[in-house]
Amino acid sequence: MENGRNSFEDFFFLFQVLAKRLSKPELEKWAAVSWGIWNARNKFYFEKIQVHPKAILDGAVVFLNEYQKLVAAQRNS
């Protein structure tokens, strides 16, 4: 390794940079899409099922919207 960093450190560094530059909604969407990409990668690796990129994005947006609704409902109860 050139600089002694591992993929976890690279990902954490990327997150820190994005957290400073993106608004909260943009960062939340980035996190949801990143999770969707990772989930699709695992589905392909373990199940040999390839998910269309639009389905990854759409699924991430639905997941994020549902999560935000649940958080809002808990705050209001």
- For residues 40 and 16, the answer to whether their CB atoms sit within 8 Å is no
- Give per-residue burial for 61-71: e unless 16+ CB within 10 Å, then b: eeebeeeeeee
Residue 1 clears pLDDT 60, i.e. is over it: no
* Mean pLDDT, range 12-35, rounded to an integer: 96
pTM of the model: 0.82
Rounded distance, CA 62 to CA 8, Å?
A: 27
| Residue entry with tokens 């990327």 | 14
